Structure 1
Amino acid sequence: MGEVALTAAGLYVIVLLRAGGTFAVGWLAGAGTRRSRFAERISAAKFRRAERAIQRWGAPVVAVSFLTVGFQTVANFLAGSMRMPLSRYLPALFVGGAGWALVYATAGIGALHMLARLFAERTVLGVAAVAGLLLAVCGVAVYRRRNASPARGDAEAGEPEGPHRAV
């Protein structure tokens, strides 16, 4: 079995367990989450956008969410909390998870090979590249944390109050 295929298979198992687990947590939490201390986080703009997308488009949103960063977990959790039927969720999980595993396996292995070659041929440049990447990631994290706006209530956003159940 090739390097990419083996990596993709391993990543596929990981994403099925992680996303399926997130869906299960959402399913178990159900509407109770909206009345808990996590209600403020769930009313954040990211959650409201995801919920509206899932209500409108259903399972395809879950499948496409695997090709995004930061939306995947929200989409899987909300699909569970909105009680999306397994007959619609599982195909989205399998297709989206396969896409995620293939993208990360091919891009990940390519990046690792490039870094290995860079370190072998020009070690100082390799160290500088890794340090620059780490600084950029930390900078983005600090920027996002400082500029995060406080969550607004659904009433402020012009949305009706209460949980939506359409899936």
Structure 2
Amino acid sequence: MARSHATYWAGRGVVRGAQAVDEHEGAPSWWHSSVRRLESWSGTPSAQRGLDLVRRWGPVAVTLAYLTVGLQTAVIASAGLVKMPYLRFAIASVPGAIAWAVIWATIGFGALWAALALFARSPWALAAAVVLVVLAVGWSVRRRARVRVQAEV
């Protein structure tokens, strides 16, 4: 909850900072460069997906973002960027955070204990399992990127 709310407020800060730079051209150079870096982040594909989801689904996107990996931060920061009212964001984040905690407490800890048990039996088996997972994730990411590029063409 602390990280997601800090990310939300960082998104709100980007908007406020951009407004302040527009209003006060005499801001220090580090301020301008920080705002430019944050504005450039908001133009990345992941950030654009997050913005699109928040604009389309609103608080539902925030709740469901807790169930994603890689898109979570983009959606939560986007809620701040589009100035979603804080109370609406906070209410939407509670069920998402609870779902994330339940998933981590069950599947996450189960995977951790399974990895520790496998390591106790054979560190090489654990290393092989990690390599297989990394290869599977890499294959999946490349496949999705290839499909996305083909869809854009």
Q: Secondary structure at the match of 1:68?
A: coil
Unmatched tracts of structure 1, length 5 or more: 1-15, 148-156, 158-167
Name 2:23's counterpart in structure 1: none
| 1:135-146 paired onto structure 2 within 5 Å | 136=135, 140=138
Alignment root-mean-square deviation, CA: 3.0
Which contiguous aligned blocks of 4+ residues in structure 1 show a shift greater than 6 angstroms? Answer: none
Q: Distance in 2 between matches of 1:38 and 1:123?
A: 42
Sort the Cα spacing of 1:53 and 1:106 in 2 relative to 1 into closer, same or farther, 3 A. Answer: same
Distance 1:45 1:127 in 2: 33
More displaced stretch, 23-32 vs 35-44: 35-44
* Equivalence map 1:1-167=2 (5 Å): 16-30=1-15, 32=17, 36-130=36-130, 132=131, 136=135, 140=138
Alignment partner, residue 152 of structure 1:
none
Count of residues in correspondence between the two structures: 129
Q: 1:135 to 1:88 in 2, by over 3 A?
A: closer
Q: Distance in 2 between matches of 1:120 and 1:48?
A: 44
- 1:134 offset after TM fit, Å? 7.6
SS at match of 2:37: coil
More relative contact order, 1 or 2 (CA 8 Å, 6+ apart): 1
Task: State the distance in 1 between where 2:46 and 2:40 align.
Answer: 12
Structure 2 residue runs of 5 or longer lacking an equivalent are: 20-34, 146-151
The sequence identity of aligned pairs, in percent, is: 31
Name the aligned partner's letter for residue 72 of structure 1. Q
| TM-score where L is the length of structure 2 | 0.69
Higher helix share: 2
